[in-house]
Amino acid sequence: MVEAVESEQEQNEPQYKEYAIEEFLVRSEPYYRPVSDELELFTAAYNQHIPVLLKGPTGCGKTRFVEYMAWKLGRPMVTIACHEDLTASDLVGRYLLDSDGTRWIDGPMTRAVKTGAILYLDEIVEARKDTTVLIHPLTDHRRILPVEKTGQIIEADDRFLLCISYNPHYQSALKDLKHSTRQRFISVEFDYPPADIEAEIVQKESGCTEEQASALAKLGEKVRNLRDHGLAEGASTRLLIYAGRLMREGIPARRACQVAIVWTLTDEAELQRSVEEVVSSIFE
């Protein structure tokens, strides 16, 4: 017979484990098209508890890849978008005041460590250096998370994996990974896929026609060549998909490319004209 009243211990037991897993599970299979051996590399790293660093330009599929691997491995995924105001308390947790007094609230990193999630720190170089060092004890044989404010040392669940990413094109002397951090990871390099594979991805994700997807992949390839002529960043696969979605809705191809690609990539009139010339040469 099921007891109507829970014991005092059950009532007071923290509920973060069940909540974290249910909240952050990737429930349906994300679409991801492998380009090389990245699936095998990530799986091997997961099995061997080796932290993973993903390097690549914006919009090339790094986050989607981690989502796919979390689904494939059946693990929850906790994503943290790093920025310069991110503090250690934001990651680990903090004491809060409520009607019952002071209580400790676990941060997303602590929850991920305790529940065996895949912890994904996106654009790690944007985080403050004093925050980045928090991950060091999690990336070697110790696999621990010291919580200074509570005096605890938390051992990572055996299924926990740390994964970080950054865009090397935005790298500078002020925003770079320290070698003491970099050498704690294996590094998997990402780039925009070959045109035939990118066309396949664009068509699948946007629902545009095969002909439109091929033209968009060709456009992406040509626009990226303009990086040598002053364009800070090439057209990402994500932007090509946006253009394809607009075309699917009946927006003319040139207009779709203008708002999704040309005006997004740059505000400089001369560079905009250069990109529009490329668009016109493909979508006549």
Q: What is the pLDDT averaged over residues 251-263?
A: 98
| Percentage, residues of the chain above pLDDT 90 | 72
How high is the pLDDT of residue 21?
A: 64
CATH number of the domain at 149, please.
3.40.50.300
Domain-located, residue 38:
yes
The terminus-to-terminus CA distance of the chain in angstroms comes to: 74
**Mean pLDDT, all residues of the chain:** 89
How high is the pLDDT of residue 3?
A: 40
Q: What is the pLDDT averaged over residues 209-213?
A: 97
Q: Are 245 and 275 within one domain?
A: yes
Q: Are 84 and 215 within one domain?
A: no
Q: Are 175 and 239 within one domain?
A: no
Q: Are 128 and 206 within one domain?
A: no
Q: Which residues contact 114 (CB under 8 A, 6 or more apart)?
A: 16, 17, 20, 106, 154, 157
Task: Output the CA angle 240-242-245, nearest 5 degrees.
Answer: 110
Express each pLDDT in 37-52 by its tens digit: 999 999 999 999 999 9
Q: Are 26 and 162 within one domain?
A: yes
How high is the pLDDT of residue 171?
A: 54
Is the separation of the CB atoms in 162 and 77 below 8 Å? no
Q: Which residues contact 65 (CB under 8 A, 6 or more apart)?
A: 32, 38, 42, 54, 190
Domain-located, residue 2:
no
Give how many domains the chain has, as a whole number.
2
Q: Are 99 and 239 within one domain?
A: no
Domain-located, residue 98:
yes
Domain-located, residue 5:
no
Instruction: Write out the residue range of the structural domain in which residue 244 sits.
Output: 195-282
pLDDT band at 7 (very low <50, low <70, confident <90, very high): very low
Which of 127, 160, 189 is the C-terminal boundary of a domain? 189
Q: Are 200 and 100 within one domain?
A: no
Q: Which residues contact 234 (CB under 8 A, 6 or more apart)?
A: 57, 192, 220, 223, 224, 225, 226, 227, 265
Q: Are 141 and 46 within one domain?
A: yes
Is the separation of the CB atoms in 218 and 169 below 8 Å? no
Q: What is the pLDDT averaged over residues 97-105?
A: 86
Q: Are 56 and 184 within one domain?
A: yes
Q: Are 81 and 145 within one domain?
A: yes
Does 237 score more than 60 pLDDT?
Answer: yes
**In the Cβ-directed half-sphere of 104, how many Cα atoms lie within 13 Å?**
14
The CA distance from 82 to 79, in Å, is: 9
Is the separation of the CB atoms in 26 and 64 below 8 Å? no
pTM of the model: 0.87
Q: Are strands 161-166 and 52-55 parallel, antiparallel or unpaired?
A: parallel
Express each pLDDT in 135-178 by its tens digit: 999 999 999 999 998 999 999 999 999 999 999 876 554 567 88
How high is the pLDDT of residue 170?
A: 64
Which of 189, 215, 230 is the C-terminal boundary of a domain? 189
Which of 189, 219, 248 is the C-terminal boundary of a domain? 189
Does 14 score more than 50 pLDDT?
Answer: no
Domain-located, residue 262:
yes
